[in-house]
Structure 1
Amino acid sequence: MKAEFSFIIIDDSELDCFVTKKFLERTNKNFVIEIFNNAEHALDTIGKNHSLEGDLPTIILLDLQMPRMNGFKFVEEFEKLSPEIQKNYIIIILTVLSPSRDPKDLYGIFTYRKINSIVEKPLTKDKLNSLLNEVRMGSIK
């Protein structure tokens, strides 16, 4: 059976990756999920035109605050990939939104054309269902 959705989780926190993956698995057994704790490794894999199963694009759940290559730098490099590769992916920022976060960070997110949405951690069933409905309806591309 083909997966309806595939996900790539990019987060340096092994705990956040574990929790997000377990949540996705419990929500739907047909999700294909791949985890990267290093954004550079994820970018290399994606750059080789790596895509997971499914008819819809792979959803990248991307953390912003990571060492070596943060989420912003990942998106900058991702946008340099060929359009044929880019069309296979939807980038969703999955991050903690807190009053202490610099508002320039949030404004900066929307300067990237490939960032489709921001979802606050932790991912919940309502947030996930809303996101997947938007992808199915084509309002997130």
Structure 2
Amino acid sequence: MRKINNAWIIDDDKILTYVLQRIMGSVDSFDKIEIFQNGKEAINHLSVVKKDPDSLPDLIILDINMPVMDGWQFLDEFEKIHLDKKITLYIVSSSIDIQDHNKAKKYKTVSDFLIKPIGKKQIEQMVASYQH
């Protein structure tokens, strides 16, 4: 199975991030998993590590409904940052609104939009489709 050096979970739901971290650990394909409570935390960290490809995430799991900076605002900022590394990004949200799904398609950095809750099967599919 493929290895993902660094994965980021950007979501304010502490129970979900705990469960996702456990599932990702059980898949045994992730060396490091970092958790951010909102998009602002993640953007701030990204601006610190952007010059070091080893510190950048290979995979981002992003919620869209968060306080401080939501997923859409994160994506707007994320797409402005020039990175020398391709990062695979999945939106994982409880939103079933077709407008959210259509909006996600407008971002070139978004690989897919998955509906919560996600389980081991979806994580395994993310790993299987990951290309560095």
TM-score class, shorter: 0.7 to 0.9
CA distance in 2, matches of 1:53, 1:27: 21
CA distance in 2, matches of 1:134, 1:23: 17
Task: Report the RMSD for the aligned CA atoms in angstroms.
Answer: 2.3
Pick aligned residue for 2:121 from 126, 129, 133? 126
SS in 2 for 1:126: helix
| Structure 2 residue runs without a partner (length 5+) | none
| Structure 1 residue runs without a partner (length 5+) | none
CA distance in 2, matches of 1:64, 1:130: 21
CA distance in 2, matches of 1:29, 1:112: 26
Deviates more, 1:30-39 or 1:74-83: 30-39
SS in 2 for 1:83: coil
- Compute the TM-score of the two structures, normalised by the length of structure 1: 0.79
CA separation of 1:29/1:110 partners in 2, compared to 1, >3 Å: closer, same or farther? closer
Percent identical residues: 25
Which structure has more relative contact order (CA 8 Å, sep 6+)? It is: 2
Runs of 4+ more than 3 Å apart: 50-54
CA separation of 1:131/1:29 partners in 2, compared to 1, >3 Å: closer, same or farther? closer
Q: Does 1:65 align with 2:65?
A: yes
CA distance in 1, matches of 2:83, 2:110: 15
CA distance in 1, matches of 2:29, 2:78: 28
- Compute the TM-score of the two structures, normalised by the length of structure 2: 0.84
Give the AA of the match of 1:112: Y
Cα pair 2:65 2:71 within 8 Å, conserved: yes
Give the AA of the match of 2:121: D
How many residue pairs get aligned? The number is 128
Query: In the TM superposition, what is the alpha-carbon distance from 1:116 to its structure 2 partner?
Result: 1.1
Query: In the TM superposition, what is the alpha-carbon distance from 1:114 to its structure 2 partner?
Result: 0.7
Tell me which residue corresponds to 1:117: 112
Q: Does 1:91 align with 2:89?
A: yes
CA distance in 1, matches of 2:92, 2:53: 20
SS in 1 for 2:103: helix
CA distance in 1, matches of 2:28, 2:41: 26
Query: In the TM superposition, what is the alpha-carbon distance from 1:27 to its structure 2 partner?
Result: 1.9
Tell me which residue corresponds to 2:36: 36
